[in-house]
């Protein structure tokens, strides 16, 4: 949910509009092919400076496809021990 909201805010800032019909065209662009940023304040500074950004969210890289869907997924490989104690063995990313 966090990354969804931040992506919308960044797209609205790039479009300089709060109208969804206007900023929808910027959603894909703020998630790929630009200068990497992950903190909202840093991303906003770059946008306000006219820099093309590539937002990598709290969940990892998003890289929206042409259809506006996340193109990369981040997942954990877990191991469960006694009493269902969870250990993260590895984190991986997979492109769609």
Percent of the chain with pLDDT over 70: 97
Structural domain that includes position 35: 2-95
Phi, psi of 85 (to 5 degrees): -65, 130
The per-residue b/e assignment along 15-44, b for 16 or more CB within 10 angstroms, e otherwise, is beeeeeeebeebbbbbbbebeebeebeebb
Interatomic CA distance for residues 43 and 31, integer angstroms: 11
Over residues 4-31, the pLDDT tens digits come to: 999 999 999 999 999 999 999 999 999 9
Domain count along the chain: 1
Confidence tier at 3 by pLDDT (50, 70, 90): very high
Interval 79-96 mean pLDDT: 82
């Amino acid at each position: 949910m966090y990354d969804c909201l931040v992506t919308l805010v960044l797209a609205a800032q790039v479009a300089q509009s709060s109208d969804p019909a206007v900023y929808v065209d910027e959603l894909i662009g703020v998630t790929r092919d630009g200068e990497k940023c992950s903190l909202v304040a840093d991303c906003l500074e770059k946008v306000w400076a006219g820099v093309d950004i590539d937002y990598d969210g709290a969940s990892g890289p998003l890289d929206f496809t042409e259809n506006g869907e996340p193109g990369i997924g981040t997942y954990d490989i877990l191991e469960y021990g006694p009493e269902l104690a969870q250990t993260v063995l590895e984190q991986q990313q997979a492109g769609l």
